[in-house]
Structure 1
Amino acid sequence: MNKLTAAKFIRDRFLYILTGLFITGLGACLMLLEHARNPALMDLSSMYYFIGAAAFFIVLVLTFDYIRTRGYYKQLHEAIERNSELRTGAIAQSAVTVEQELVVRLLDQQNSTYLNKLGTYRRQQELHNHFVMQWVHHMKTPLSVVDLLLQEAMTQQPLSDEEQHELILSLLEETDRMGKGLEMLLHTARLDKFEMDLHLVKVPLHDIVHEVLITHRRLCIRHHINPQIQGEAWPETDKKWIIVVLNQIVSNAIKYSKDKQGMKHLIFHLDHHDTISKLMITDEGSGIAPHDLPRIFDPFFTGENGQVAESTGMGLYLAKQICSRLGHELLVSSELGAGTTFTITFSPHGIHILDKG
């Protein structure tokens, strides 16, 4: 049914056939006029020979064209019937005209684009599946801790006020971990539709930092972390997404500072110059090993510190992705055992690269 039959071929070449017949008819008419004007010089038999020769060459050309293009159409129909990845190499060998070669190039480009997008989608799907499985695994830990704390509280004698307070703080810390895990899963899912959930405006960054610190106030007090905000800045960004980034950085700062003894500082230094704003977040935590620094923004990379703190390895990856899509630059510097500094640079030209990342 899909094969190139003679009828289909003639139908596709009908205009050329009609043109050939018109030229042949025009020549025959000119011969008839010449014969009418001077019968002695123009014999009608010559006209018959002309018509016969023209018809023969028309048929010959069509037959030759049919034979040489049959392989090209055959390859196209086989690719359609298989409904699979196009073998453009085989079709290219059968292409005989410039138009057919252009079609083959187009098919090859479309096939390459399709395979690249399919590969990207598969990698994203694998990344998402891996993250969900890892997230479920890590959510078991706070659930187990909550269950253990409740069992101990039920089996022990009436708790003192101090013990009750400690129990409540422990339960709040574990529920906070679960809440942040749920938020990370949600934000990771929304990342695929990032451009549809975006509202860029000029915001007071110092006020946003203050909001983030209020969210983490209880943990800062419990682990003796003293946050300080220095300076002001008004960059152009998306408030809800930059809060996600700041929450992740502050959570990491608390997580890797809480085991240190004594009072620790968490400094937010803001600087606004012309159209460029910078935010530097410096903690006094355990720091990052030099060999781990180049990979901290990779998905699922935990490093030495993350393995101890049961990190999913997705928080900084998510922060980096958000900053990249917002056009902000996120950099990190660290000294092992002394602390870490994250620097976010807000530049006005960055908001025009939202289609990247």
Structure 2
Amino acid sequence: MTLALFLRDRLLFIIMALIIIGLSISLLLLERERYPGYIEEGTIYYFIVLSLFFLGVWLAIDYLRQRTYYKELTDAIEKSDELQAAKIVQSTITGEQKLVARLLEEQNRAYLNELGKYRRQQELHNHFVLQWVHHMKTPLSVIDLLAQQAQQQSAPSAEEHKLLALSVQEETDRMSRGLEMMLYTARLDKFEIDLHIKQTPLHELARTVINAHKKLCIRHSIFPRVEGEAWVETDEKWMTFLFNQFVSNAIKYSKSKPGSKKLLFQMETFSSGSGTLKVIDEGIGIAPYDLPRVFDPFFTGENGRTAGESTGMGLYLAKQVCSRLGHVMTISSILGESTTIALTFEPRAIHIMDGEGSDSGS
């Protein structure tokens, strides 16, 4: 900070000081006219010099004690493209300067927090894209292998042809689910734009999703059933995505168990307008030590690594969607027996959506 800039910032104070000095001199001159010889001319000159001297001394001291602060502020401005530039300003003197320094510190902290959230989101997105590409290679490789086998067979029987078609369809279904998850992950960042709230019949939605997975359920001896009815305020498209995740997980972790298995949708609506939904499967369950982390992104757990199909994003996305819709989602499990996903719908929860979501994988 130059001396000229310092003086310009205090120009109003200097003018007021000079006005006060001028008024004082005027009073002295009036007194001299009123009482001739009472006030000597030298006294007036002495007062002028002394007043200007003290004004100059005060300005010099004020400039010297604040010069370091302004130099640090100038350096911080020159390095404003650096994240820690605000920390350069430390030599605060006045209360105003301390408040400004505190504001800079709070703004820097808020900026770094937002930057950290953005970087975390980018890392999750990039990780998911890479993992998604890897998982898409598997069904493509299987389809290519099935096509080669079909070409090598001179005249496949009707049964072999049917099995081949079923295998290809299963792999294309896996690709379709992967593409759907990728699409909904991209939409999650603009959740509020892609939202339409209305009274939705969960029982009809559950039957529609079950019908879409009917062939896989039959193939793996899984018998779904819907019990009760529930009308709740929610978004039908996002709830369809959630139900698809629940049914896909149930099939994924039930198909390895021998014999028939049940998949139960239990729902109920209360007079207050709230409702509950439970999705209960008879799969391999979740280990107790994995249960607290199932909503973490990319966490697959012991069963996910065994199945080999888990991305660790299904339950994470489901939890994020529920949080933003104002629904409460919990999960419980008995290892080797069953897993229960419970959703609670409150009539007013949808109007206080949590835009942040909660830190919560499959």
- Indicate the TM-score class for this superposition, using the shorter chain for normalisation: over 0.9
* Corresponding letter in the other structure for 1:307: R
Query: What is the alpha-carbon distance in structure 1 between the residues aligned to residue 58 and residue 198 of structure 2?
Result: 68
1:286 and 2:306 aligned: no
Structure 1 residue 235 displacement after superposition = 1.5
Instruction: Pick closer, same or farther for the CA change 1:262–1:86 going to 2, 3 Å.
Output: closer
Structure 1 residue 19 displacement after superposition = 0.8
Structure 1 residue 44 displacement after superposition = 2.6
Unmatched segments (≥5 aa) in structure 1: none
Structure 1 residue 69 displacement after superposition = 0.9
Structure 1 residue 355 displacement after superposition = 2.5
* Corresponding letter in the other structure for 1:286: I
Which residue does 1:162 correspond to in 2? Answer: 159
Q: CA RMSD in A?
A: 1.5
Q: Is the 8 A contact 2:31 2:39 kept in 1?
A: yes
SS at match of 1:333: strand
* Corresponding letter in the other structure for 1:12: D
SS at match of 1:182: helix
Q: Is the 8 A contact 1:299 1:313 kept in 2?
A: yes
Query: What is the alpha-carbon distance in structure 2 between the residues aligned to residue 130 and residue 333 of structure 1?
Result: 27
Which residue does 2:306 correspond to in 1? Answer: 308
**Poorly superposed stretches of 4+, deviation over 6 Å:** none
SS at match of 1:193: coil
SS at match of 1:203: strand
Which residue does 2:328 correspond to in 1? Answer: 329
1:97 and 2:97 aligned: no
Query: What is the alpha-carbon distance in structure 2 between the residues aligned to residue 66 and residue 156 of structure 1?
Result: 94
Q: Is the 8 A contact 1:195 1:354 kept in 2?
A: no
SS at match of 1:196: coil
Which residue does 2:354 correspond to in 1? Answer: 354
Within 5 Å, which residues of 2 pair with 1:10-21? 10-21=7-18
* Percent identity for Structure 1 against Structure 2: 56
SS at match of 2:231: coil
Bigger mean CA deviation after superposition, 192-201 or 129-138: 192-201
Structure 1 residue 87 displacement after superposition = 4.9
Aligned residues between the structures:
353
Question: Which digits, 9 at most, give the CA deviation of each residue in 1:78-130, with x for residues without a partner?
Answer: 111123123555422x1000000001000111111111111111111111111
**TM-score of the two chains, using structure 1 as the length reference:** 0.95
Unmatched segments (≥5 aa) in structure 2: 358-362
Which residue does 2:218 correspond to in 1? Answer: 221
Structure 1 residue 331 displacement after superposition = 0.9
Structure 1 residue 222 displacement after superposition = 2.2
Which residue does 2:360 correspond to in 1? Answer: none
Within 5 Å, which residues of 2 pair with 1:193-342? 193-273=190-270, 274-310=272-308, 311-342=310-341
Query: What is the alpha-carbon distance in structure 1 between the residues aligned to residue 347 and residue 59 of structure 2?
Result: 63
Structure 1 residue 301 displacement after superposition = 1.1
* Corresponding letter in the other structure for 1:325: R
1:47 and 2:44 aligned: yes
SS at match of 2:344: strand
SS at match of 1:334: strand
